Amino acid sequence: MIKVIPVSPKIGAEIQGVNIKTLDDAAFRVVYQAFLDHVVIVIRGQDLQEEDFMAFSSRFGELKPHMTKKAHHPRYPNLMLMDNRILNTQTGEESKTASPLLVRIGNVWHTDTSYDYITAKATGMYAVNVPSVGGDTLFSNSYAAYDALPDSLKQKLEGRSAAHIYGGRLKRQQERLEEENKNRAPAIHPMTPVHPETGRKSLYFNDGQIMSIVGLEPAESDAIIADLAKRTASPDGDYRHKWQKGDVVIWDNRCSIHCATGDYPANERRTNWRSTIMEFGWQPQQQHQQHHTPQYSPRRSTRLRLILLQRIRYHTPHQKQKQRENQIVEHKPRPLHMLKLLPQDFCCRKGKHTERNDSQSIPAHDPEHVKTTQRIQR
């Protein structure tokens, strides 16, 4: 029998009585509902191969390779091989002791893939090797973080978006990226989104990847980011997960943040398989449709708004039609020899027939001649 046992008042639940290799659809519905209700689910004591873990992760959504190719599993690109000894999974380069870079990965509060144009729905992790002490993961509930904000700050963040890049303002860990990903345009995401499945509003904030708040002056943006960082950071979070070998943990990136402690002995090995889980039917984007709005001086900003307004005013279909109606088209007089190409007995103007009398000769310099020429041209 499946049991769902909360592990803290705000976030997380341990699911007991589950073998994920033989989980049927009815049992998975219980697991998935616990995922929505508790944001983080823990299933202990699983003996898995890579295929088993990928199959379970793919029941939550579609799997996607992580941006850092150096961390891809050598046989399964949809998995991230997180090993404190392996510097490059593609070449097999290892270090005798834990790499400081790999130890400190994730040791700031963050949500996964906020730097990407389409963010991950969830993240899955399976513990292969666990150190004797340390290496815990802290989790915090972003629903509760939003609910705890003062009303004035909620109003200030309402409708706002933030720009994110890999490594954030300090560009941490960008040495792990390939060259084509080091200078990507920022990804823009709403700061107080509504969860697509639960309908609850949360604070989408990633202190590890955020650059700025779009549309605010740099000083105000930095002040709000610093304030939110203090509000969301916590020494122990809402739940501290102490890893055991065979643990499977799935967390909802849409309404949570997490942080790795990185406090385990450097001579001990820590290995995890990690899956990045997207929404079903997601489509990759090379570039986000929105772009980070540059900050301009008030004078320049006003000039740009006027220019854009003018362009919009004179490029809408209605205004184009109005322009055509009011436009006075000036025709250049045609040479007199062109008159010989017209019929001899009449000329046409707006569907009306006007007789032409060739016996009446009109001098070229006569004003009546000019009027007749213009009438024929029209």
The whole-number pLDDT of residue 358 equals: 44
The whole-number pLDDT of residue 166 equals: 79
Q: Decide: helix, strand or coil at residue 37.
A: helix
Mean pLDDT, rounded, of the chain: 77
CATH architecture of 3-278: 4-Layer Sandwich (3.60)
Q: pLDDT-derived band of residue 225, with 50, 70 and 90 as boundaries? A: very high
Q: What is the pLDDT of residues 61-89, one digit of tens each?
A: 999 987 777 778 888 989 988 887 765 65
CB 233 within 8 A of CB 207: yes
d(CA 165, CA 171): 8
Torsion angle in degrees (nearest 10) through CA of 210, 211, 213, 219: 130
Torsion angle in degrees (nearest 10) through CA of 309, 313, 314, 319: 180
Nearest to residue 82, comparing CAs of 64, 63, 101, 96?
101
- Tell me, rounded to whole angstroms, the distance of Cα 277 from its chain centroid: 14
Top pLDDT among 167 and 89 is at 167
Q: Token pair 């610093």 is at which residue?
A: 226
d(CA 378, CA 373): 9
Structure token digits, residue 241: 């997960």
CB 73 within 8 A of CB 286: no
Please provide the distance, in angstroms rounded to a whole number, between the alpha carbons at the two ends of the chain. Answer: 90
Question: How big is the chain, counted in residues?
Answer: 378
Q: Token pair 């890579």 is at which residue?
A: 50
The whole-number pLDDT of residue 101 equals: 47
Q: What is the pLDDT of residues 168-213, one digit of tens each?
A: 666 655 555 556 566 778 899 999 999 999 999 999 999 888 989 9
Q: Kindly state the percentage of the chain with pLDDT values over 70.
A: 65
Q: Decide: helix, strand or coil at residue 346.
A: strand
Nearest to residue 77, comparing CAs of 62, 88, 66?
66
| Averaged pLDDT, 218-232 | 94
Q: Token pair 């540059």 is at which residue?
A: 294
Q: Where are the domains of the chain?
A: 3-278, 296-327, 333-378
Beta strand extents in 198-327 (DSSP E only) = 210-213, 239-241, 248-252, 256-260, 271-278
Would you tell me how many other CB atoms lie within 10 Å of the CB of residue 77?
15
- pTM of structure: 0.71
Q: What is the pLDDT of residues 97-118, one digit of tens each?
A: 544 444 455 678 889 989 899 9
Structure token digits, residue 25: 């659809």
